[in-house]
Structure 1
Amino acid sequence: MQDVETVMTRDMDDAADAAGPADRRDFSRWFVERFADYWQSTGASPIEGRIAGYLLLDESAGVSAAELASELGASRGSVSTYVRKLIDRGFVTLVRKPRDRTHYYRMDSDVWGRFLETEHTYLEKQRGLATQALAYTDPSGPAYARVRNMRDYMSWIIDNRMLPSEWNRFKSERDERDAPSS
């Protein structure tokens, strides 16, 4: 059973989401915090979510670790750690500027499409792992059933969902529909 404080906190968070920022000047900070809340709900770090949210809205050619630390109220070490994680997972890219030794970071314009590509690789690896594990589990035991379901779920997702191609088709149709009339 959930305690009253948990329910009240969730209700307050839902109200904050529905209300939105107080005014346009507060939008960026509000968005970054809401994005971090959602990111954290998947088990990730809140600072990682703040970095991703900040870069999602950033209009520049790249943001330095020092700027991220300053804007997000985080240590440079923490920013460095979580930027590397975001790079490894394909959410953030490193940008170099001519005659500048500083590292800059930005989010690709179609980071979610890249996420789908990364997800497909993840599913393939998990399916392979489950296939290997089945050889070492007792076919009459509960572990076998769980691992078989893992393998078959990954196979089902891979075989029945054409997410990257569907996403590209959707973007083409959207861009065609939203293109300015001549």
Structure 2
Amino acid sequence: MTTEEERDRTLRWVERVAAFCVEEWGLPPITGRILGWLMICDPAEQSAGQIADVIQASRASLTSNMRFLTAIGLVKKVRRPGDRTAYHRIEDDAWQKVIQRKLESLSAFGEIADEGLAIAGGDERRAERIKAAHDSLTWLQDLATRHPLRR
């Protein structure tokens, strides 16, 4: 495979990551492209200029998305001794953080479902939809408890 073919294949993969992030998490495509690129790039640390060039993004858009990804702990800024450029890399535990946040949000909704069941009281018609959500969330929490994330 030629270098150009490898680059095209890599960029198609980055676009698949971006599409996933858009469809599953409602993130802007550029955010998904940044994550995709930072997962596959070599070296692992990339400057904002390098990332912008590869994913064909404006520096302003890249900067705001990078700030977001850094704030939520998926990307970290790295400095090299003697180099004034800031580099970015995906955190080693980024995906564990994503999954943990999802589980926590589902747990929070489980509490909301519990309250809904209390409000519905003995009215089975009102409670059955809430109970379906509650049971699904309980199943997922049990699964996560039995199979905790490990690195």
TM-score (ref. length: structure 2): 0.71
Q: Decide whether the 8 Å contact of 1:90 with 1:115 is kept in 2.
A: no
Change (3 A) 1:66 1:152: same
Whether 2:97 is the aligned partner of 1:114: answer: yes
Q: 5+ residue gaps in structure 1?
A: 1-21, 172-182
For residue 5 of structure 2, what is the amino acid of its counterpart?
D
Q: Decide whether the 8 Å contact of 2:38 with 2:44 is kept in 1.
A: no
Instruction: Give the match for residue 148 of structure 2.
Output: 164
Instruction: Give the match for residue 18 of structure 2.
Output: 36
For residue 132 of structure 2, what is the amino acid of its counterpart?
N
The alpha-carbon deviation at position 50 of structure 1 amounts to 0.7
**Pairwise CA RMSD:** 3.1
Change (3 A) 1:126 1:80: farther
SS in 1 for 2:148: helix
Instruction: Give the match for residue 93 of structure 1.
Output: 76
The alpha-carbon deviation at position 31 of structure 1 amounts to 1.6
Distance (Å, rounded) in 2 between the aligned partners of 1:147 and 1:102: 52
Number of residue pairs the alignment of both structures matches: 145
Distance (Å, rounded) in 2 between the aligned partners of 1:142 and 1:83: 47
Q: Decide whether the 8 Å contact of 1:127 with 1:155 is kept in 2.
A: yes
Q: Which has the higher contact order (CA 8 A, sep 6+)?
A: 2
Q: Decide whether the 8 Å contact of 1:127 with 1:154 is kept in 2.
A: yes
The alpha-carbon deviation at position 54 of structure 1 amounts to 0.5
Distance (Å, rounded) in 2 between the aligned partners of 1:35 and 1:109: 17
